[in-house]
Amino acid sequence: MPKPLAFDLHLDTPSYDDAETTARIEDSDARLMEMLAAQAHHREDGSSREDEDSVALDEKLTVDDKRNLLQKSLNMAASNGDVERVRKLVGGRAKEFVDVNAPDDEGTVPLIYASCFVR
């Protein structure tokens, strides 16, 4: 049975300026900076501009290379709110190389990125 949520709505709720909360905020900021740096790197290395179909059909790339490149593209597209590109990746020739449930290096799946960043 699911555990009920517990909210403290009292006016005398203790402050959240403790060390644990500060550390969580700093971790969140660091995570955001890492994600932005990864997106910038992905754009700079040219893989974000490569057509999904050309990667999927490239005979010079191994299956693992295709999975890596296209999965990163899916993560980036989802975290950037690029719905058109996500649709191409999960519905086009690249679909056999991507997994919407596969976590990235940080443990986050594309569906989570999409739910956070798609408008």
Contacts of 110 (CB under 8 A, 6+ apart): 74, 75, 78, 86, 98, 100, 102, 104
In-domain check, residue 53: yes
For position 105, what pLDDT does the model report? 84
| Angle at the Cα of 70 from the Cα atoms of 96 and 102, rounded to 5 degrees | 75
In-domain check, residue 27: no
Closest CA to 54 of 89, 90, 106, 99: 89
In-domain check, residue 72: yes
Domain that holds residue 80: 35-117
Please identify every stretch of the chain with a pLDDT value under 50, giving residue numbers as ranges: 47-49
For position 113, what pLDDT does the model report? 82
Q: How many domains would you assign to the chain?
A: 1
For position 51, what pLDDT does the model report? 84
In-domain check, residue 105: yes
In-domain check, residue 10: no
In-domain check, residue 7: no
In-domain check, residue 110: yes
In-domain check, residue 4: no
For position 9, what pLDDT does the model report? 63
